[in-house]
A and B are shown apart, each in its own frame.
Chain A
Amino acid sequence: MSQLQSMIQQKQTSSPLVNVQEMQFWLDKAVVWSQADSPDTQKDTCLHLSRLKEFLQELLAHIHAMSSTSETMKRLPFLGQFLGRLCWNSFVTADDTSRKLLLQCLWGLYSEHPSNPLERKANQWIRKVLCQLATEEDHVAVQELMKRVGIPPKEYHLKVLRKMVALLQKSIGNGCSCLGNVNERCSCDHILATSEACVPLVTCPEAAPLIGALLQQPATCVRAAISEDFLHTLSSAYSREGLLLEEQAIVCLWYHSLSSLEEAVVSLLESVVTVTGSTPENLEQQVAQSVLPKACAQHFSIFLVTNDIFRSVLKQAEENESVKSLIQTFTSCFLKELALLQPQKQVSLKTFFPQSPQSLIVPLLTLPSEMPREAWRHHMNWLSGSLQRLIEEEEEGDGDSSSSTRGHHKIFESWFLLVQCGYWVQVTVQLLVMSGPEDCDLLLWLLTFYHHPTNRGHHRALQLVRAKEAWDHLRSLFMVLAGPFPVDHLQSLVTLLSPQPQQPSLSSLLILNLLVSFAVFFQQSLKRSTEILLTVVDKTGLVDEAVCILHSLGLRLNERSCLSSDAIRVHLRIKAFLNTLTHMHGA
């Protein structure tokens, strides 16, 4: 028992203690740094900065855990010397976090009610150090000049800093002068040194132009390397503290630093998946504000990484609608940014999609607005036919195990591309409203494939039959212009939409998309269409989903920006439906 007690006691007293060896290591470092002001010691300081911050954090906890300054000083007699030396190390005091921790350590040593000469002396010393740090100048001459010309030191130092930043920015912007001769010394050596020196300055607002210039320097020379440490510090400051960087600087940061790019994509994905009830407008805004589509258009390597992340997320969550709509929105924004680039900066579309079936890339990435409406049906039939052939070929070879992974890969890539170009799926749904039984098969196949890409349990044929059924019921419902509703069709539709115990069930979103499309585009009175929509949605509890589909349909139609009387009619109908549905929801 007593042994246990003493162990607990020991743990209690020793746990806040900073490791003596560690203290010695850092003290030695601080001494070396303060003795020589050479580029090597400066580099060493920068390289140790993040570990130093961790140590200062430990030290701070230690100081807080002690009952008095006397006790702290007794346990760590060299603490004052160590902190004092750090106070005069510009690399430490330039860095926001290090400076903050260092000052907090000093505050921790200040005794509000000093009880002995040691504590009184410590207090005096702390006040003196702080005062010197803030008001003393290195050069008496400079101090004299400031006094005589009447400039306050704060303004002077700010001016010098801005001047230095401007000078360095200019010298970096000049680019390389050595014309590719590796053995020749050139100004690019400067870039590595400057980026290393900028490690403690990443959060300094005055240094922002220099940091931007470093990231954007024309990398024409092998020597023009940026310090990894700098990139790492910058990217963690960017993600952790919301560091303000210019748009183009962020793009360059992603270009140089894979981890910061991954972090940006994942954070976009997280923000989209966790926020429910976001409208497609919000989503589009969010995507555009992330600057990622712009970065992707400028550097196809950024696009490939981003797309890879989307690909792996989609593989794990193929039915997650918010992920799918993010990917679709992202692709639209990306295509817009790509179109804005100057022609000489554009890279062929196929470079961006090396894994996709080559024959589908251009037809799918062409926007509906870039094609006359009369050509849509033909285009969709062609696309559906091509996809069908491609998928069937791969699925037939399924028995052969060696080629099956490759086959699945090809099917997935085709579907992934279709998900990215989801605007054509929307066109398909719209075309189905205007189709007759004779020309709906190819379109229904495309729609079914979009919602059920994997053909699990070889159910696609059955799913296709169900989709046709749903389409038949909808058509029959909307065809009746007056009189009572054909109750049997309504009931069958509701049944199809309700969760069914027997497999395979058809995606409710597929049917809901068709329903909304019929309500919006079919030449049926608004009153009757509203009634059908309301009844089905109410009975199946799919109000939110219907609202979302209406929103995104409205947005897409806006983008195509047709101002025909038909377009206006459609918009008014969408508005009316949304009104009724949200009203119903609220009630």
Chain B
Amino acid sequence: MEAVLKNLMSTAELLAVAAQSDVVSQWDKQTVNRAFHWAQYCEHLFSRFHNKPSVRRVMEKQLQLTNHSLRVAFPGYTGVSFSDLSRCQHLLLVGMLNNPELPFSIMKILFDATPVNTKNSEFQDVTGLCSHIIQCKSACKVLSPLTDLSGVGADAEVQGGMLIERMGALLSESTEACQTEHFLDSILQGYEGAAELFCMVIAAALLTPKNSAAESVSQDFVMNWLQKKPSVLQHMCLALPIALLMDLTKRHEKFRDTYCDLLKKWASDMEYNISDGVWVHTSTNTTMSFYKLTERFLALFEACPSLRDDMEKELNAFKISDGDFDVRGLSVWGDLLSALNK
């Protein structure tokens, strides 16, 4: 354990040097290769010990100590946390590329665009590392307009999958529920200004195939968390394409119930505009027309046929409480029922 901690300390120092020190001007290809090997070693440490609280605590403590002394040597240096270790190679790369002292010959090696054999996922050599990253990113952008046509989109699907996976790890670490909730809150915060994407990511997370019990637990957790965020949930139900909403109602009973309640709420918030002869929504921030609402009810009945009877009974009860008139424009429930049974 002592040796591991020593290695951890050296790698943390290495990361700081790579980003901050002018020593890198002396680095050659071999040095850089070795540096990446050490970074890779720390990624292994993370995957081995992140769910062993006792070891993790010792390592966190070691990192705190090292960070402290590094901050003395390099003012302004932020240090590495234990969770940073999972992306140690990336941090090393970012640090190096931002260090103006990095020899340009090393840049050339990193950006070498000779096609590399990517079959071997364990890296052997840093040659072309950045070129491959650029290729991957660019290829995603080239293909992205073609894949956005249906479903949540590949990027949201991957993000949702990553989220569920991380949730699984958090939940299995017997972390307190509030901590996991806090984690989801922080994710939500990260998507500030990208609400549409967040809806897609959450939808994708809830729709990932349930390969294991852990994934199922994670999804339930996300669903429960979502119910405590009515504004997020409402935004999802408004923004997501109907086909996706139907997939969600089929997969999650809780989601279905919430969605049904929302539909009824949207209906009850409508009032009849006598001059135009249409039902309009009273709230200004919801663009739900009577036509769209009918469409959503019909889609729901098609996705979950068993719902139709109960739902219609309920709508009928509302209609009766409105006086049970069969005249257009008096009760939204009456007009909705006749539109649904056209």
Q: Which residues of A does B touch, CB under 8 Å?
A: 39, 42, 90-94, 96, 99-100, 103, 107, 110, 112, 124, 127, 130-131, 133-135, 139-142, 144-154, 156-161, 163-165, 167-168, 171, 190, 193-194, 197, 200-201, 203-207, 241
Q: How far is the CB of B141 from chain A (nearest CB, A)?
A: 4
Evaluate contact between A164 and B136: CB separation under 8 angstroms. no
CB distance from A440 to the nearest CB of B (A): 60
Of the candidates B134, B145, B147, the one whose C-beta lies within 8 Å of that of A42 is B145
When the two chains form their complex, are residues B97 and A149 in contact, meaning their CB atoms are under 8 A apart? no
**Is B154 within 8 A of A151, CB to CB?**
no
Q: Report if A150-B87 is in contact (Cβ < 8 Å); known contacts: A94-B138, A160-B154.
A: yes
With both beta carbons as reference points, the residue of chain B lying nearest to A106 in the complex is identified as: B111
Main secondary structure, interface of A, reads helix
Query: In the assembled complex, how far is the CB of residue B207 from the closest CB belonging to chain A, in whole angstroms?
Result: 13
The answer, among A107, A124, A146, for a CB contact under 8 Å with B108, is A107
A148-B183, A190-B146, A204-B135 known; A135 vs B97 contact (CB < 8 Å)? yes
**Cβ–Cβ < 8 Å partners of B115 in chain A:** 96, 203, 205, 241
With A93-B135, A151-B86 as contacts: A163 and B142 at CB distance below 8 Å: no
Q: Give the 4 A-B residue pairs with the shortest CB-CB distance, closest first.
A: A144-B190, A100-B113, A150-B86, A94-B138
By beta carbon, the residue of chain B nearest A187 is B149
* With known contacts A93-B135, A151-B162, A165-B143, A141–B93 Cβ distance under 8 A: no
Q: Which residue of B lies closest to A171 (CB)?
A: B150
Residue B68 at the chain A interface, CB threshold 8 Å: no
B87 x A99 contact (CB < 8 A): no
Q: Give, as a whole number of angstroms, the nearest-CB distance from B191 to chain A.
A: 4
User: Is B163 a contact of A154 with CB atoms below 8 Å?
Assistant: no
Which residue of B is nearest A89, CB measured?
A: B138
Contacts of A112 in B (CB 8 A): 104
Complex-state Cα separation, A135 to B145, whole angstroms: 22
* Pair B87/A152 contact, Cβ less than 8 Å: yes
CB contact under 8 A between A103 and B113, given known A139-B194, A151-B87: yes
Q: Any chain A CB within 8 A of the CB of B4? A: no
Residues of B within 8 A of A (CB): 46, 83, 86-87, 89-90, 93-94, 97-98, 100, 104, 107-108, 110-111, 113-115, 118-119, 130-147, 149-151, 154-155, 157-159, 161-163, 165-166, 183, 186-187, 190-194, 197-198, 201
Complex CA gap A357/B155 in Å reads: 61
A158: B residues at CB distance < 8 A: 136
List residues of chain B with CB within 8 A of the CB of A110. 104
**CB-defined contacts of A163 to chain B, threshold 8 Å:** 154, 157-158
Known contacts A103-B131, A127-B107, A204-B139; A167 and B147 CB within 8 A of each other: yes
Which residue of A133, A140, A160, A201 contacts B158 across the interface (Cβ within 8 Å)? A160
Chain B residues within 8 Å of A144, by CB: 187, 190-191
Q: Which residues of B contact A205 (CB under 8 A)?
A: 115, 118-119
Inter-chain contacts of A164 with B (CB < 8 A): 140, 143-144, 146-147, 154
- Residue in contact with A148 in the complex, picked from B138, B140, B187, CB distance below 8 Å: B187
**Contact between chains at A96 and B190 (CB < 8 Å):** no
Assuming the contacts A99-B134, A150-B46, A159-B158, asked whether A145 and B142 have C-beta atoms less than 8 A apart, the reply is no
CB–CB B142/A133 < 8 A: no
> Given known contacts A134-B97, A135-B94, is B130 in contact with A142 (CB within 8 Å)?
no
Residues of chain A contacted by B130 (CB below 8 angstroms):
130, 133-134
- Across the interface, do A145 and B138 meet the contact criterion of CB distance under 8 Å? no
- Residues of chain B within 8 A (CB-CB) of A96 are 113, 115, 135
Chain A residues with CB under 8 Å of B150's CB are 171
With a cutoff of 8 Å between Cβ atoms, the chain B residues found around residue A127 in the complex are 97, 100, 104, 107
B125 to chain A, nearest CB (A): 15
Inter-chain contacts of A190 with B (CB < 8 A):
146, 149
**Contacts known (A103-B131, A110-B104, A193-B146); A145 close to B163, Cβ less than 8 A:** yes
Contacts of B94 in A (CB 8 A): 131, 135
Report A231 CB to chain B, min CB distance, Å. 18
Taken together as a complex, chains A and B put the C-alpha atoms of A142 and B154 apart, in Å, by: 13
B154 touches A99 (CB 8 A): no
Instruction: Return 20 A-B CB contacts under 8 Å, by A number.
Output: A39-B145, A93-B134, A96-B113, A99-B138, A107-B108, A127-B97, A127-B104, A130-B130, A134-B134, A135-B93, A139-B197, A140-B190, A140-B193, A148-B186, A160-B155, A161-B136, A161-B139, A163-B157, A163-B158, A171-B150
A91 touches B90 (CB 8 A): no
Residue on B with the closest CB to A153?
B90
Q: Which residue of A lies closest to B116 (CB)?
A: A205
CA A100 – CA B131 in complex, angstroms?
8
Distance of A237 Cα from B118 Cα, bound (Å): 18
- Interface contact A156-B142, CB-CB below 8 Å: no
- Taken together as a complex, chains A and B put the C-alpha atoms of A148 and B179 apart, in Å, by 13
Bound together, the chains give a CA A168 to CA B149 distance in angstroms of 10
| Residue in A closest to B149 when the chains form the complex, CB atoms | A190
- Which of chain A's residues have a CB closer than 8 A to the CB of B146? 164, 168, 190, 193-194, 197
CB-CB under 8 A from B159, the residues of chain A are 142, 145
Contacts of A139 in B (CB 8 A): 194, 197
Identify the closest chain B residue to A94 (Cβ): B138
* B147 close to A168 (CB less than 8 A): yes
The smallest C-beta distance from B18 to any residue of chain A, in angstroms, reads 13
Q: A100-B113, A148-B186 are in contact. List 8 more A-B contacts (CB 8 A).
A: A93-B135, A94-B138, A103-B113, A134-B97, A140-B190, A145-B163, A157-B140, A161-B136
Q: Which of B135, B147, B162 contacts A99 (CB 8 A)?
A: B135
Contacts of B100 in A (CB 8 A): 124, 127
Write the chain B residue with the least CB distance to A154: B133
Asked if B97 contacts A93 (CB within 8 A), the reply is no
Looking across the interface, which residue of chain A has its beta carbon closest to that of B91? A152
- Residues of A near B89 (CB, < 8 A) are 152, 154
A149 to B87, CA, bound (A): 10
- Contacting residues, chain B, for A142 (C-beta < 8 A): 155, 159
Say yes or no: B135 contacts A94, CB within 8 Å.
yes
Give chain A residues whose Cβ lies under 8 Å from the Cβ of B98.
Answer: 131
Shortest beta-carbon distance from B117 to chain A in Å: 8
B139 partner residues in chain A, CB cutoff 8 A:
90, 94, 161, 200-201, 204, 206-207
Cα–Cα, bound, A335→B17 (Å)? 66
Q: With the chains together, A39 CA to B144 CA distance in Å?
A: 12
| Chain B positions within 8 Å of A141 at CB level | 190-194, 197-198
State whether B154 touches A130 (Cβ < 8 A): no
Q: Who on chain B is nearest to A159 by CB?
A: B158
The reply to whether B158 and A154 contact each other, CB–CB distance below 8 Å, is: no
Q: Could you tell me the distance between the alpha carbons of A201 and B142 in the complex, rounded to whole angstroms?
A: 9
**Minimum CB distance partner of B104 in chain A:** A110
Shortest distance from the beta carbon of A380 to any chain B beta carbon, whole Å: 53
CB distance from B11 to the nearest CB of A (A): 15
A134 cross-chain contacts in B, Cβ below 8 A: 93, 97, 110-111, 130, 133-134
CB-CB nearest in chain B for A134 = B130
Interface centre among B89, B191, B201 (most CB of A within 10 A): B191
Q: Which residues of chain B come closer than 8 Å to A140, judged between CB atoms?
A: 190, 193-194
B50–chain A nearest beta-carbon distance, Å:
8
Q: Give the residues in chain A near B107, CB-CB below 8 Å.
A: 127, 130
Bound-state Cα–Cα, A200 to B137, Å: 13
Knowing A149-B165, A165-B143, A197-B146, the reply to whether A154 touches B111 (Cβ < 8 A) is no
A94 → chain B, closest Cβ, in Å? 4
Once the chains are docked, how many angstroms separate the CA of A168 from the CA of B145? 11
| B97 and A131 contact, CB distance less than 8 A | yes
A558 CB to nearest chain B CB (Å): 36
Contacting pair B136 A157 (CB below 8 A)? yes
Residue of B with least CB distance to A104: B113
Q: Write the chain A residue with the least CB distance to B143.
A: A164
Q: Is the beta-carbon distance between A157 and B137 smaller than 8 angstroms?
A: yes
A369 to chain B, nearest CB (A): 41
CA distance A140 to B191 in the complex (A): 8
Q: How far is the CB of B108 from chain A (nearest CB, A)?
A: 6
Q: How far is the CA of A112 from the CA of B103 in the complex (A)?
A: 9
CB distance from A127 to the nearest CB of B (A): 7
> Which residues from chain A contact B135 at a C-beta distance below 8 Å?
93-94, 96, 99, 204
> CB < 8 Å: which of A99, A167, A200 contacts B131?
A99
